[in-house]
Amino acid sequence: MKAKFRNLAAGSALAAMLLGAGNASAETLKVAAISGYFSQGFGIAIMNGLKKAETDFGVELKIVDTGNRALDYEEQFNNIAKGGEYDLVFVMGWELVDALQKSNQAYPDQRFIFIDGVLDSPSMTYVDFVEEEGSYLVGALTGMLAAADAEGFNSSDEVGFIGGRDIPVIRNFLMGMEQGVAEQAEGVSVSSVFAGTFDDPAKGSELAMTLYGQGVDVIYQAAGPTGEGVLQAAKAAGKYAVGVDIDQCGTAPGNILASMLKRADVAVYDLIKGEVEGKPVKPGPVSYGVAAGGIELKICDEVADKIPAEVKTKLEEVRSGIADGKIQVKLNQ
């Protein structure tokens, strides 16, 4: 009896060794992510990507919440980088850039990936979403609806745009939208305005009301919290607005036409996948546009059946046109 048990034990030990050996040859990838926003829109998207990679590839995950004390950031980066334990470290949040760059100098071998922004450090990887492509799609959709006088689009041949501040990156949104309207919807024009701030929903609401008052039926906003006010105004005025960055359809169901999504989850998952499959992440910019699935225009479920089928078909053509390079979206810079 005892001998039997011993055999069993030996057998399972052997099995464990074999299994262990199998794991070791694949060598578990260790990934850390550091940000103060894991509970908010964009951060949730990153988390989703990480979780999916965890289930699909068995990577080991470490989530570090920075909190909001600037004093802590440097130590937090150093604690992660010091052991050299993590293969990749995802970073999100502009307030972390200073500490990130210091840590990058102190630990040049640690691979950091900064999400959503262009940094001035050649040794770091940064993920940049091609917003102008998504904005082109927004322009195409809203322009076509206005031109076709679809339901809720009767009053004018103008579509609206509200930007946060007049800075290059927000200009890219506007340029993309204008190009989309010009090329896909003849006779429609864009009426644009900048709020001058990203933090003032009341101002966003006020500007949106003015545009709606002028007969604009839909407004695309790229204005952070200011844009929340635009979405609320769409509800109050009974008109349409288009969300940005994350799925904002639920903010004012029925009045949000679509959301231009930056798929941080796709980017994160994709980079980890590449790493697992032997295509390691390299320093420098990584662009995620329509082709890579990093940019997507999601039409809100609540309004999907109000959009004419031919508009949907045409939009899909435009999307694949951008994806395979037939349509080139110009940049502001």
Partner 1 sequence: MTLPSDNKPAPDALKTQGMPQWAEQLIGQAIAVGISIIGGAVIILLVGESPLHVFATLLRGAFGSWERTAGSLLQATPIIIAGVAACVALRGGLFNIGVEGQLYMGGFAAAWVGFSFALPAGLHVLVAMAAAIVAGALWIALPAFFRARFGTNEVVSTILSNYVAVLITSYLTISVFKRPGGWSETEPIAPTAYLPQISDVSRLNIGLFIGIALAIGLHLFLTRTSAGYSVSAMGTNVKFAEYGGVSIRRNILVILLCSGAVGGLAGGVETLGVHHRFMEGFAPGFGFDGVIAALLANGSPIGVIGTALFFGALRAGSLLMEVETNASREVITVFQAFIILCVSAQILIRRRRDSTQGERRWKF
Instruction: Note whether 26 binds partner 1 by CB under 8 A.
Output: no
Specify the residue, 47 or 249, whose C-beta has the smaller distance to partner 1.
47
Question: What value does the CA radius of gyration of the chain take, rounded to a whole number of Å?
Answer: 24
* Smallest distance, partner 1 to C-beta of residue 245, A: 18
Specify the residue, 4 or 69, whose C-beta has the smaller distance to partner 1.
69
* Total number of residues that touch partner 1 (CB under 8 A): 19
Query: Which pairing describes strands 189-194 and 158-163: parallel, antiparallel, or unpaired?
Result: parallel
Interaxial angle between packed helices 131-147 and 309-323, expressed in degrees from 0 to 180 and rounded to the nearest 10: 150
* Smallest distance, partner 1 to C-beta of residue 86, A: 9
- DSSP strand E in 30-170: where? 30-35, 60-65, 88-92, 112-115, 125-129, 158-163
Cα 142 to the center of its chain, rounded Å: 21
* Smallest distance, partner 1 to C-beta of residue 76, A: 6
- Footprint of partner 1 on residues 61-80 (CB under 8 A)? 62, 64-65, 67-72, 74-76, 79-80
* Smallest distance, partner 1 to C-beta of residue 93, A: 9
**Of 168, 169, 167, 178, the residue nearest 138 (C-alpha):** 178
* Smallest distance, partner 1 to C-beta of residue 85, A: 9
Specify the residue, 94 or 238, whose C-beta has the smaller distance to partner 1.
94
Specify the residue, 98 or 186, whose C-beta has the smaller distance to partner 1.
98
**324 Cβ contact list (under 8 Å, min separation 6):** 291
Decide: 305 and 141 in contact? Cβ < 8 Å.
no
Interaxial angle between packed helices 224-237 and 201-213, expressed in degrees from 0 to 180 and rounded to the nearest 10: 40
* Smallest distance, partner 1 to C-beta of residue 117, A: 11
Decide: 231 and 201 in contact? Cβ < 8 Å.
no
Specify the residue, 107 or 220, whose C-beta has the smaller distance to partner 1.
107
Give the contact letters, 85-124, x = binds to partner 1 (CB under 8 A), - = no. ---------xx-xx--------------------------
Q: What element of type H or E holds 299?
A: strand 295-299
Per the document, the length of the chain is 333
What is the contact surface with partner 1 in residues (CB under 8 A)?
A: 32, 62, 64-65, 67-72, 74-76, 79-80, 94-95, 97-98
